Chain A
Amino acid sequence: MKGLLVLTALCVAVFGKKTFEGNQVLQITAKDEAQISLLKELSEQEHLELDFWREPIHESLPVDVHVPFHSLQDVRAFLGNNQIQYDVMIMDVQVLLDDEEREMVKYRSSPKSTDDFVYTAYHNLSEINSFINMLVAENRKLVSKIVIGRSYKKRPLNVLKFSTGANRPGIWIDTGIHSREWVTQASGTWFAKKIVKDYKRDPVLTDILNNYDIFLEIVTNPDGFAFTHSKNRMWRKTRKPNPGSKCVGVDPNRNWDAGFGGAGSSGNPCSETYRGPRANSESEVKAIVDFVKSHGKLKAYVSIHSYSQMLLYPYGYTHTPAKDDAELNELAEKAVSSLQSLYNTRYRYGSIINTIYQASGGTIDWTYNQGIKYSYTFELRDTGTYGFLLPADQIVPTAEETWLALMTIMKHTRKNPY
């Protein structure tokens, strides 16, 4: 084993960071023998490191040459000065290679267990659904999957239930209600694994699970999520068409029955904050509403978004402070402080309407009005540098620090039954 590692390390050293970024493949059309001779001379310039895919032979045959980025200027200058015609066949070789690898990845065998699963990368819908099924299969005593409803396009709305006994009060966490906020779904998968890893190992979590169920919906907006992979990385809403409009989708975080229709949401279907024709018009929202009402004993509700590094509590639709404002504020401060303790990531906290903006028809305003006191919304990393396009190497650090805040909230819920 050690030998293999050494060998691999050696190979990595030998190759260094080989990349074909910026390399191009040019197709050259020589018009006469003189130009062919020139091209032959060019091919002899070793320092250019040209890689001829089709050598210069005769003016009737195209010449294809793979040119490294560092030689592009010289080669173009040479061709220009000698009035040799050419076209760019491949604009960037690395892009093509990346495409190819992506195709190869699709045919690679998928992870065989949740230990195999790559938490440091972003995944698509089918990969996350496979993860969910594997997690359940590996932990049947602790984890089960509930399908609480279907999306507009009939995709299942999957919720993981972590439970060690019957008739328990519950804690709800959802990620990915806004599909472009990819770090949230990614963190959700990490949280799921974290729970099974820490049960019976971490006394605090074990105590929570011995008294409360945890419900985790990782892809709360699957239609939107699929769309961010296939067509538009910046898609936020659901994918339900709006009659009479060219514009698709409703903002699922303006569709709840709390201050519905007020300022802080839009009546325009083309808007990113379109509230929908009526509260709970979106099946993705209705499914959760039905679940919450029929469960009847949820004691904490956390809805996770990105970006801007905030921990928020009700209300968003009104300036009237929530009845439990003081307690929610104090708990938020503690949660943010535990979050920051890990990587020094700074969060702001406060009510939605003060801290971020007025927003009506929002999730946690509704859940709070249902009597779920500990209702919080997170906005995860970052603060605008990468925004929605957070590099994958930040997934795990984000999930780790957020988990500390979640544990603070869950622990407080456990210690303060109501």
Chain B
Amino acid sequence: MKTFCSVWLLLSLVELSPAPPASQEPPLACTGAPDPAPPQPETAEDMASTGDLEPTHYPARRAAQVALHYLNTHHGSPFRVFGLQQVHKASAEDVGAGGRKYKLDFSVTDWGSGSAGPALRCSADVLFPRTERHSAPEVQLHCEALHQINSTAQEDDAFYQKYISPDSAVSARDIPDSFGNMSEEMQPFWRLARVAASFIMLRESSENTEFNMAKVASVTQQESREEQLMLEFVVLLHDFPSQEIVQWKLLASWSPDRGVRVLQTEWQPRCPHATKPPN
């Protein structure tokens, strides 16, 4: 039966849709990182960006995205990543020492359940300091019913047990590939990368950025340490306002108990002449 089926399936191969491609090589041409963005001029929008904010406009959305990165660093896992669903209310005020604080009321959903899934209501204060050199925003966040959402403990444990073994040596590139394909096997690694990348995105954020993770260029498992899964990721981040793709290498640990920790990060400029990250 099996031989017959192999023949049959071979014959019907012509009916199958095109297979996913091989991984892309890194860009051959040096594209370079742009000069650091000049400080944004004070526009009418800036002046208006205090008091109540339009929730669908970008100032509120950028601040909410920062709160989202913060949420993922604390509660993300191989089986849970949150995405922004909607900003309900937002306001901003200038605070002493030249910073701006945003107050936000927004909803998030778990990527796993898609935008149709249950939404979690959150409120956050996001403070963007206005200092000479960039410093990370400060976030205070509270989400309702965070502990009531379905636990992923079982999947977390199974995943942990599978890969904590000393002989485990996961290594993969291009997640997802050019066509958006990703194997089921790789999904938890993709989510872990997103959570780890959230540490970087949070740290690098300002009122002039809006980061997402574009893709995982590579994941290479390192030797486990202190019962933590050790993963080296190279991730591509996409910043909306500048439209730049920024490459970072990072080393992260994870276990069901300790969650994700990021141990090392390294910006990987694509041109030798660029000296520091866009921020």
A contact residues vs B (CB 8 Å cutoff): 7-8, 10-11, 14-15, 19, 21-22, 72-73, 76-77, 80, 91-92, 94-95, 97-99, 101-102, 104-105, 108, 118, 120-122, 182, 228-229, 231-236, 246-248, 251, 263, 266, 268, 270-273, 308, 319, 344-346, 348-350, 353-358, 383-392, 394
In the complex, the answer to whether B21 meets A98 with C-beta atoms within 8 Å is yes
Number of A-B contacts (CB under 8 A): 174
**Residue B257 is within 8 A (CB to CB) of chain A in the complex:** no
Residues in chain A near residue B25, CB distance under 8 A:
231
12 contacts between A and B (CB under 8 A): A8-B12, A91-B171, A121-B179, A231-B29, A235-B27, A263-B43, A268-B35, A270-B31, A273-B242, A346-B115, A392-B179, A392-B181
In the complex, the answer to whether B44 meets A105 with C-beta atoms within 8 Å is no
In the complex, the answer to whether B28 meets A231 with C-beta atoms within 8 Å is yes
Majority secondary structure of chain A interface residues (helix, strand, loop or mixed)? loop
Residues in chain B near residue A386, CB distance under 8 A:
176, 180
Residues in chain A near residue B151, CB distance under 8 A:
none
Please report the total number of B residues contacting A with Cβ < 8 Å. 72
Interface members, chain B 189-240 (any A CB < 8 Å)? 212-215, 236, 238, 240
In the complex, the answer to whether A390 meets B17 with C-beta atoms within 8 Å is no
Query: A73-B167, A356-B240 are known contacts. Are A389 and B214 too (CB-CB below 8 A)?
Result: yes
**Residue B147 is within 8 A (CB to CB) of chain A in the complex:** no
Select B45's contact among A122, A319, A344, A349, beta carbons within 8 Å: A319
Q: Which residue of B lies closest to A348 (CB)?
A: B56
Residues in chain A near residue B27, CB distance under 8 A:
231-232, 234-235
Residues in chain B near residue A10, CB distance under 8 A:
5
**Residue B97 is within 8 A (CB to CB) of chain A in the complex:** no
**Residue B143 is within 8 A (CB to CB) of chain A in the complex:** no
A106 smallest CB distance to B (angstroms): 9
In the complex, the answer to whether A383 meets B178 with C-beta atoms within 8 Å is no
In the complex, the answer to whether B19 meets A234 with C-beta atoms within 8 Å is no
Residues in chain A near residue B179, CB distance under 8 A:
121-122, 389, 391-392
4 nearest CB pairs, A to B = A391-B180, A101-B19, A384-B212, A270-B32
Residues in chain B near residue A233, CB distance under 8 A:
24, 178
Residues in chain A near residue B180, CB distance under 8 A:
386, 389-392, 394
Residues in chain A near residue B56, CB distance under 8 A:
348-350, 355
Residues in chain A near residue B17, CB distance under 8 A:
118, 120-121
Interface members, chain B 1-19 (any A CB < 8 Å)? 1-2, 4-5, 8-9, 12-14, 17-19
In the complex, the answer to whether B176 meets A8 with C-beta atoms within 8 Å is no
**Residue B76 is within 8 A (CB to CB) of chain A in the complex:** no
Select A271's contact among B14, B34, B176, beta carbons within 8 Å: B34
- Looking at A21, A99, A350, A389, which has the most chain B CB atoms within 10 Å of its CB? A389
B131 smallest CB distance to A (angstroms): 22
Residues in chain B near residue A350, CB distance under 8 A:
54, 56-57
**Residue B241 is within 8 A (CB to CB) of chain A in the complex:** yes
In the complex, the answer to whether A268 meets B58 with C-beta atoms within 8 Å is no
In the complex, the answer to whether B35 meets A105 with C-beta atoms within 8 Å is no
Beyond A104-B13, A270-B33, 15 additional contacts (C-beta under 8 Å) are A10-B5, A14-B2, A72-B167, A76-B167, A102-B22, A108-B14, A247-B29, A247-B30, A247-B31, A248-B29, A263-B43, A271-B244, A308-B240, A349-B56, A387-B212
